């Protein structure tokens, strides 16, 4: 009887925990500056040969009711040198809309320590967007892919 109760309690806690965690992570903001890592290549194998990667910067509006303005997505190389501004003029992202910006596999200008600085703002506090990068590469029929979440470095809450 005790074993069944323990299993039921464990099962129930497993079902409830994602909901509790989701509520604790709700972050409202009126704007942020976000740092996002980009890897143009990674090193692998016994000779540590570079594997070139393509990268996608993804910005997703997670708010169900409000838009926000994407002000900039600036690409920097390993040494912190500005390479390119991907948003020449502000873009409004409607609720649940997303934008992505691609760095091709053959583009090695950023190097292994490349990054984006993404800035956005809203007229009121909204659910913070997801800002992340996705890296993809293939060599000898083997694929590699991974995601790097953005890190908020400036918060502009009202």
Please report where in the chains the tokens 């760095």 appear, as a residue.
103
Domain 27-155, CATH homologous superfamily name and number:
TM1070-like (2.60.290.11)
d(CA 22, CA 74): 30
pTM: 0.81
Of 57-71, 74-88, 110-124, 139-153, minimum mean pLDDT range: 139-153
Contacts of 47 (CB under 8 A, 6+ apart): none
Say if CB 110 and CB 149 are below 8 A apart.
no
CB atoms within 10 A of CB 43: 10
pLDDT tens-digit profile of 82-108? Answer: 999 999 999 999 999 999 999 999 998
pLDDT at 43 over 50: yes
Tokens of 117: 């600085």
CA-closest candidate to residue 144, choices 152, 135, 153 = 135
């Amino acid at each position: 009887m005790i074993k069944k109760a323990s299993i039921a309690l464990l099962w129930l806690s497993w079902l409830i925990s994602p909901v509790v965690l989701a509520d604790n992570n709700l972050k409202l903001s009126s704007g942020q500056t976000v740092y996002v890592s980009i890897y143009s290549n990674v090193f692998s194998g016994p000779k540590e040969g570079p594997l070139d990667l393509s990268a996608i910067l993804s910005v997703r509006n997670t708010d169900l009711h409000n838009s926000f303005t994407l002000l900039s997505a600036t690409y920097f190389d390993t040494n912190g040198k500005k390479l390119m501004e991907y948003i020449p003029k502000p873009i409004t992202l409607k609720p649940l809309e997303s934008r992505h910006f691609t760095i091709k596999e053959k583009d090695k200008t950023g190097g292994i320590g490349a990054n984006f600085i993404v800035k956005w703002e809203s007229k009121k506090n909204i659910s913070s967007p997801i800002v992340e990068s996705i890296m993809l590469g293939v060599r000898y029929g083997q694929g590699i892919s991974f995601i790097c979440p953005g890190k908020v470095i400036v918060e502009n809450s009202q």
